[in-house]
Amino acid sequence: MAVVDWVYDGLLALLVLGLAAGALYSLSLYRAVVFYIALGLVLALVWARLGAPDLALAEAAIGAGLTGVLLLSALKHQPNKARLMGWPWLPGLTGIAILLLLIMMVKAVWGLPQGMAAVGQAALLAVPESGVEHPVTAVLLNFRAWDTLLEVLVVLLALLALRQLTLPDETFPDAWPLLLAWSRLLAPLSLLLGIYLLWRGADAPGGAFQSGALIAAGLLMLRLVGLSPALPWSRFGVRLSILIGPTIFLLAAMATASLGAGWLAFPPDWSKALILLIEVAATTSIAISLALLVGSDSRELNQ
Amino acid sequence: MIEFTAILAWPFLLAGAFFFIAGTLGVLRFPDIYSRLHAVTKADTLGLGLTVIGLGLLSGSLRTTLLMILVWLLVMASGATACQLLARYERERPQVEDENGGR
């Protein structure tokens, strides 16, 4: 069986490199985007093979799905058929840079001790006290909650940056009946799956970002086929749902800093409730923010 | 009993792989977009169904099998929908040679 595994992993690795090259060096931008989406899906497979289903889910939902939609809609806004600039010395230069990076990475990885590092063992031992059973969620929402807080803020910053832009007016053609019927079926399904992933994050792969991305995908689908209008920024509820995740996260951080053991050090009795609250709030914010990042109403933005 | 189902699973898995390869060859080799769509949606759906049956027999767990069948139903529905949409897009598109020489 080991040989089969080697062949499979080798093919996956070659496929990743080939798709990445296709995404970088395709002369047609549309093709490059399609290559990039395929690259995201194969990367998700790679994460799954490495035993990291959390990352696989995030890569498939955000890396391939939402980024793909983002790139395709950016492509639609290109004024004319854009072509990549053909600098003759570019491939050689990139090659040298990649080679240097590869040497540095190999050197860094070579020195790592085999097996699990001490910090990983310590983290696994502490999982029962974290309030959740799934080690990845324990790390993301408890031991390294600071990182996750910053990630939630990055999404907020991206949305605020988008609000500063003006976009060309866009109109969507009327969707065909089949697409409408399919979207009516798929959008509730993605909401259901999103909530399921959020709930499952306590003891299995899942969590706020994957769940938020799925819900955003459902909202976007309804928006793109014209079944629902773009989420209006002017509505208080929309702005509230964008801010509720970072706000609750920051409040929890400040409360633990002033009343408890320290910045984002959750007391064990409270940690499950706190983590659940933060996850639900963060999922709401991520879902609405991602949906607005890709499917904002250009007329509203330009006002 | 477990061994019996494991032996029973392999023909399904091999047939699934066969239909996947046939579908892929069809996408690569068929001359126009309609027959390529036909190949990729029909053959791959059948291949995935057979693979799901095989894997379900191998797993020996009813829950896992039902979950995989749900995935199969979703892929089947999305494949059929995407096929119809792409075919209609192709039919209603103004028929001009595009930049890739009409492919």
Q: What are the extents of the domains in chain A?
A: 1-112, 131-303
% of chain A residues with pLDDT over 90: 35
Asked if the model's pLDDT at residue A17 lies above 90, the reply is: yes
Residues in chain B within 8 Å Cβ distance of A178: 81, 84-85, 88
- Kindly indicate the confidence band of residue A155, based on its pLDDT and cuts at 50, 70 and 90: very high
Give the closest-approach CA distance of A182 to chain B in angstroms: 7
Q: How far apart are CA A110 and CA A122, in angstroms?
A: 23
pLDDT at A284: 94
Read off the tokens for A53: 């289903």
**pLDDT top residue among A205 and A43:** A43
Read off the tokens for A10: 């080798």
Residues in chain A within 8 Å Cβ distance of B99: 28
A4 and chain B: CB distance < 8 Å anywhere?
no
* Cβ pair B88:A185 closer than 8 A: no
A28 and chain B: CB distance < 8 Å anywhere?
yes
Asked if the model's pLDDT at residue A80 lies above 70, the reply is: no
Which residue does chain B place closest to A176, by CA atoms?
B85
The answer to whether A31 and A22 have CB atoms below 8 angstroms apart is yes
A1 and chain B: CB distance < 8 Å anywhere?
no
Asked if the model's pLDDT at residue A109 lies above 90, the reply is: no
Asked if the model's pLDDT at residue A286 lies above 80, the reply is: yes
pLDDT in tens, A240-261: 999 999 999 999 888 888 887 7
- The mean pLDDT of A210-232, rounded to a whole number, is 88
DSSP string, A143-203: ITHHHHHHHHHHHHHHHHHHHT-------PPPPPHHHHHHHHHHHHHHHHHHHHHHHHTTT
ipTM greater than cut 0.90: no
- The mean pLDDT of B73-101, rounded to a whole number, is 81
pLDDT at A144: 83
- Kindly indicate the confidence band of residue A33, based on its pLDDT and cuts at 50, 70 and 90: very high
Torsion of CA A95, A98, A100, A103, to 10 degrees: -120
By Cβ distance, the residue of B74, B81, B99 closest to A178 is B81
Q: Mean pLDDT for chain A?
A: 86
H helices present in chain A, as ranges: 2-25, 29-49, 53-58, 67-76, 90-110, 118-126, 135-138, 145-163, 177-200, 208-224, 236-259, 268-295, 298-302
Give the range among A68-82, A171-185, A288-302 with minimum mean pLDDT: A68-82
- Kindly indicate the confidence band of residue B101, based on its pLDDT and cuts at 50, 70 and 90: very low
Asked if the model's pLDDT at residue A94 lies above 60, the reply is: yes
- Kindly indicate the confidence band of residue B97, based on its pLDDT and cuts at 50, 70 and 90: low
* Cβ pair B84:A28 closer than 8 A: no
Read off the tokens for A56: 């696989």
Asked if the model's pLDDT at residue A83 lies above 60, the reply is: no
Asked if the model's pLDDT at residue B37 lies above 50, the reply is: yes
* Cβ pair A178:B84 closer than 8 A: yes
Which residue does chain B place closest to A182, by CA atoms?
B81
pLDDT in tens, A42-67: 999 999 998 888 889 889 988 888 88
